[in-house]
Structure 1
Amino acid sequence: MRLSDLMTRPGGRRLSHSRLWANIACAAATLLFVVEGLRGTLDAEIWLIYLGIVGGYSAGLRLIAAWRDRGGR
Structure 2
Amino acid sequence: MSLGDLFKNPATNRLSHSKLWANVACAAATGMFIHLGVMGALTPEIWLIYLGVVGGYSAARSWIATRRDNAKGGKDA
Decide: shared fold, TM above 0.5.
Answer: yes
State the aligned residue count.
Answer: 72
Task: Write the letter of the residue equivalent to 1:34.
Answer: I
2:9 corresponds to: 9
- Aligned twin of 1:28: 28
Check if 1:42 corresponds to 2:38: no
- Please give the alpha-carbon distance, in whole angstroms, between the structure 2 residues aligned to 1:69 and 1:9: 16
Structure 1 spans left out of the alignment, 5+ residues: none
Partner of 1:53: 53
C-alpha deviation, 1:11, in angstroms:
3.2
Alpha-carbon distance in 1 for matches of 2:22, 2:40: 27
Q: TM-score, normalised by structure 1?
A: 0.94
Segment of structure 1 superposing worse, 6-15 or 52-61? 6-15
Once the two structures are TM-superposed, the CA of residue 42 in structure 1 deviates from its matched residue by: 0.4
Q: Secondary structure at the match of 1:15?
A: coil
Distance (Å, rounded) in 2 between the aligned partners of 1:45 and 1:32? 14
Q: What fraction of aligned residue pairs are identical, expressed as a percent?
A: 58
Structure 1 residue ranges, 4+ long, deviating more than 2 angstroms after superposition: none
Q: Which has the larger radius of gyration?
A: 2
Runs of at least 5 residues in structure 2 that lack an aligned partner in the other structure:
73-77
**Mean alpha-carbon deviation: is it higher for 4-13 or for 27-36?**
4-13
Q: Which protein, 1 or 2, shows the higher relative CO under an 8 Å CA cutoff with sep ≥ 6?
A: 1
